[in-house]
Amino acid sequence: MIKCFKNLIFLYYLISIFGAAIVWLLLGWITNIYIGGLAAILWIVVVILIMSIFALKKTNKIINIMLDDCNVEEYIRICNKILVNQTDKRLRTVFMLYLAAGYINIGNTELAEKMLNSINGFDNSKLGARNLVTYYGNLVAYYFQIKDIENVVDSMKEFKAALDNKKLSQAHRNKLKYSYSDSECLLNMANNIYDGAEQVFNDALSREKHMLGKVSVKYTLGLIYLHDNRPSEASEAFEFAAKNGGNSLFNKRAKEQLEKLHNI
């Protein structure tokens, strides 16, 4: 992730190269040139580890602009800025997936489709396995948004197969299994089958740590309450989504549902 941020690349070369040179010269003078060389290599490894951790934290901070602040527009702006300057193929794939999620959450299906169609395969690595399952998760969400249920079903099959990839970490697999089961429930709802849906999304709400996830679940619960003819509970759920949804699609849709309820 260091390659995503120009300031970190500059700091990396500055600290690692000049620092290693100083360590080598000092220890080479105090002890001998071989120990100085080993110490210089160790210095570079430590710098890489520290910079990688810092880059990961910086990336998570960007992601949380959408997930915690529900500021999807700002998240998209930053991701686009990074993507434009990114030449590493694997990192470009990561940020195209980030952008696809952003466009889906803001309701721009045209750009979401364009971003997903721009991704050219995944390598046979742990990162590739993670990108693949993220891709199909995004694809399922995209097809739900455009109400293409046939392709939702097909994409969910691919999503499930990607979850079974042995190179996917157990922690990531467990997290996305919940996403898959929630999508199964949404698929049932699309076919007017609401049995057990309230419990599924109440469980999802209790698991959710990020505000955008809570907003999404609350909006879905509002739809369930509407179906069950519980307008006061639906109104409460939609009000939560409208109040906390920032500039996400859920804010807009919740307000539309509230307007319909008020006009009844």
pLDDT digits (tens, 9 = 90+) for 78-124: 999 888 877 778 888 989 999 999 999 999 999 999 999 999 888 88
DSSP secondary structure code for residue 15 in this structure: I
Which one is predicted more confidently, 35 or 134?
A: 134
Of 36-50, 110-124, 152-166, which range is least confident? 36-50
Instruction: Give residue 121's pLDDT.
Output: 80
Mean pLDDT, residues 13-28: 63
Show Cβ contacts of residue 32 under 8 Å, excluding neighbours closer than 6 positions: none
pLDDT at site 226:
95
Mean pLDDT score, 139-167: 94
DSSP string for 21-77: HHHHHHHHHHS-HHHHHHHHHHHHHHHHHHHHHHHHHHHHHHHHHHHTT--HHHHHH
8 Å CB contact between 91 and 3: yes
Measured CA to CA, the distance from residue 238 to residue 256 in angstroms comes to: 9
Q: What is 194-264's CATH topology?
A: 1.25.40
User: Which of the given ranges, 11-15, 28-32, 186-190, has the highest pLDDT on average?
Assistant: 186-190
Nearest to 135 by CA among 147, 117, 150: 117
Q: Do residues 225 and 217 touch, judged by C-beta distance below 8 A?
A: no
On the 0-12 / 13-18 / 19+ scale of CB atoms within 10 A, 151 is middle
8 Å CB contact between 68 and 210: yes
Contacts of 247 (CB under 8 A, 6+ apart): 70, 71, 72, 73, 106
Are the beta carbons of 156 and 138 closer than 8 angstroms?
no
Would you state the pLDDT for residue 73? 96
Average pLDDT over residues 131-139: 94
Tokens matching residue 247: 């500039």
pLDDT above 70 (res 5): no
Residue 212, CA atoms < 13 Å, CB-side half-sphere: 20
User: Predicted confidence band at 2 (pLDDT cuts at 50, 70, 90)?
Assistant: very low
Specify the pLDDT at position 122.
85
66 vs 29, more confident: 66
Question: How many Å is the Cα radius of gyration of the chain?
Answer: 23
Give the range among 36-45, 117-126, 186-195 with minimum mean pLDDT: 36-45
What is the average pLDDT value for the chain, to the nearest integer?
87
Mean pLDDT value of segment 158-174? 89
Asked if 176 contacts 163 with a C-beta cutoff of 8 angstroms, the reply is yes
Q: Any idea where the domains of the chain sit in the sequence?
A: 1-67, 70-171, 194-264
Q: How far apart are CA 25 and CA 20, in angstroms?
A: 9
- pLDDT value at residue 240: 97
**94 touches 238 (CB < 8 A):** no
* Higher-scoring residue by pLDDT: 244, 174: 244
Residue type, 115: M
Helix, strand, coil percent values for the chain (each to nearest 5): 80, 0, 20
Q: Assign 46 a pLDDT band (cuts: 50, 70, 90).
A: confident
